[in-house]
C-alpha cells in the first residue's frame, strides 16, 4: 500500500467534521433547534448553555462533537437535546479529557488510562490493552483522534492504531469492549487505509472511513468487516454516513471558495450506483439529521 502522506501527520490531523480551513469566515448551520457557529479557530454551540470547542491544527474538533439517531448532540462530556437546546447531562472532568457517547457511555482519561463508564458499570484500560501503541501520552492520543469510540445500547467499539516508524507496518485494531466483564475482544484490521472515522447508525450498523485510498468498511456486529465498492474519482474521503443497507452518503475534501460543489456523494442502491450531490440539489433535503459533516458543507460559504 502506498501512502504519499505520513501516517503520523494525518493521524494527528484527525480529518473529518472540522475540516474547514482557517481562511473561512464564520458561518452557521443548524443541528435541529441548536445553532452551530464555526470559524477557523473555534466552534460555538448555541444551546441553553453555550459551549465552545477548539478547532485544532488540521481541523479536528476538541472536545469531540457528534449527533445520534435520537436527536442528541454530544460535545465533550455534555449531552444536549438538539431538538430543544436543553442540556440533558454534563460530566465534569479535572483534565477535560472526557467524551460522552450514546446510550450513556462515557470515556475519560485518568492517569494515563482510559476509564469507561455506563451507569454503575466501569472499567479501566491501558493504552496497550486497547492496542494504542507508539504514543507517549494517552491524553494527546485521545485528543488528536488516534483512538476513536462509538457505541450502541449494549456495545462499545474503540478503533486504535499501533504506530510504527514505517506507516506501512502500522496496524489498526477494533476493540469490542464488554463493561460487565471488563473484557475486550479485538479484531485486527491490518493497515487497510488511513482510517479517520468510526461511526454507527441504528439502521446502518458500524462503519470505518479511510481517507487515502477512499475506503468504507462496514460491519453489522463490530467484528466482521466488509469493504464496499465506492464511486471512482473521490478525493480524500473524510466522512461517511450509512443510513441503511441502501442509502449511504460520502464526503470528500472540501475546498471553500473554489466552487459550488460541497463534494457530497450519495447512493440509494447500496453502492451499485453513486451520484454527486451539488448545491441546490433537492436530494440535500434527505441529508441525515445525525450527520453534521453534511450539514456544515451545505452551510459553508463559497466564492461569489
The CATH number for 252's domain is 2.130.10
Confidence at residue 8, expressed as pLDDT on a 0 to 100 scale: 32
3-state helix, strand, coil in the chain (%, to 5): 10, 40, 50
How many separate domains does the chain show?
A: 1
pTM reported for the whole predicted model: 0.90
* Residue 2 maps to a domain: no
Cell numbers 477548539 correspond to 54
Residues 133/163, Cβ–Cβ less than 8 Å: yes
Confidence at residue 203, expressed as pLDDT on a 0 to 100 scale: 96
Confidence at residue 217, expressed as pLDDT on a 0 to 100 scale: 98
Confidence at residue 57, expressed as pLDDT on a 0 to 100 scale: 82
Confidence at residue 132, expressed as pLDDT on a 0 to 100 scale: 95
Cα torsion at 31, 35, 39, 43 (round to 10°)? -80
DSSP 8: H
For residues 232 and 258, give the distance between their C-alpha atoms in angstroms, rounded to a whole number: 21
Instruction: Assign 31 to helix, strand or coil.
Output: strand
Sequence-distant (≥ 6) Cβ neighbours of residue 213 within 8 angstroms: 1, 192, 193
Confidence at residue 118, expressed as pLDDT on a 0 to 100 scale: 96
Confidence at residue 32, expressed as pLDDT on a 0 to 100 scale: 84
Which set of grid coordinates corresponds to residue 179? 463493561
Tell me how far apart the terminal alpha carbons of the chain are, to the nearest angstrom.
Answer: 40
Confidence at residue 234, expressed as pLDDT on a 0 to 100 scale: 82
* Residue 1 maps to a domain: no
Confidence at residue 258, expressed as pLDDT on a 0 to 100 scale: 55
> How far is CA 128 from each of CA 113, 135, 168, rounded to the nearest angstrom?
10, 10, 20
Confidence at residue 224, expressed as pLDDT on a 0 to 100 scale: 97
Its domain, for residue 155, covers 7-299
pLDDT average per 10 residues of sequence, the chain (304 residues): 35 39 75 88 88 85 91 93 91 87 96 95 97 92 94 96 81 97 97 95 97 95 95 86 97 65 90 90 93 89 68
Amino acid at each position: 500500500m502506498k501512502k504519499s502522506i505520513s501516517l503520523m501527520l494525518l493521524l494527528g490531523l484527525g480529518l473529518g467534521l472540522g475540516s474547514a480551513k482557517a481562511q473561512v469566515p464564520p458561518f452557521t448551520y443548524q443541528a435541529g433547534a441548536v445553532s452551530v457557529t464555526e470559524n477557523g479557530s473555534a466552534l460555538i454551540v448555541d444551546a441553553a448553555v453555550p459551549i465552545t470547542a477548539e478547532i485544532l491544527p488540521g481541523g479536528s474538533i476538541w472536545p469531540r462533537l457528534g449527533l445520534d439517531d435520537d436527536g442528541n448532540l454530544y460535545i465533550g462530556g455534555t449531552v444536549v437535546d438538539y431538538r430543544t437546546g436543553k442540556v440533558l447531562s454534563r460530566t465534569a472532568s479535572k483534565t477535560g479529557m472526557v467524551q460522552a457517547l450514546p446510550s450513556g457511555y462515557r470515556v475519560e482519561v485518568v492517569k494515563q488510562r482510559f476509564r469507561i463508564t455506563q451507569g454503575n458499570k466501569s472499567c479501566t484500560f491501558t493504552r496497550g490493552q486497547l492496542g494504542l501503541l507508539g504514543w507517549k501520552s494517552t491524553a494527546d492520543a485521545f485528543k488528536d483522534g488516534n483512538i476513536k469510540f462509538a457505541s450502541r445500547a449494549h456495545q462499545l467499539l474503540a478503533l486504535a492504531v499501533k504506530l510504527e516508524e514505517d506507516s506501512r507496518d502500522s496496524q489498526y485494531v477494533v476493540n469490542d469492549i464488554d463493561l460487565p466483564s471488563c473484557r475486550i475482544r479485538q479484531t485486527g484490521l491490518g493497515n487497510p487505509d488511513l482510517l479517520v472515522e468510526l461511526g454507527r447508525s441504528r439502521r446502518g450498523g458500524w462503519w470505518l472511513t479511510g481517507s487515502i485510498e477512499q475506503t468504507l468498511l462496514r460491519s453489522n456486529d463490530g467484528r466482521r468487516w466488509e469493504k464496499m465498492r465506492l464511486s471512482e474519482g473521490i478525493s480524500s474521503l473524510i466522512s461517511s454516513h450509512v443510513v441503511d443497507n441502501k442509502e449511504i452518503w460520502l464526503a470528500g475534501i472540501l475546498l471553500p471558495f473554489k466552487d459550488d460543489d460541497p463534494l457530497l456523494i450519495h447512493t440509494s442502491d447500496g453502492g451499485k450506483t453513486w451520484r454527486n450531490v451539488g448545491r441546490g440539489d433537492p436530494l440535500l433535503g434527505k441529508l441525515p439529521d445525525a450527520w453534521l459533516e453534511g450539514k456544515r458543507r451545505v452551510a459553508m460559504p463559497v466564492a461569489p
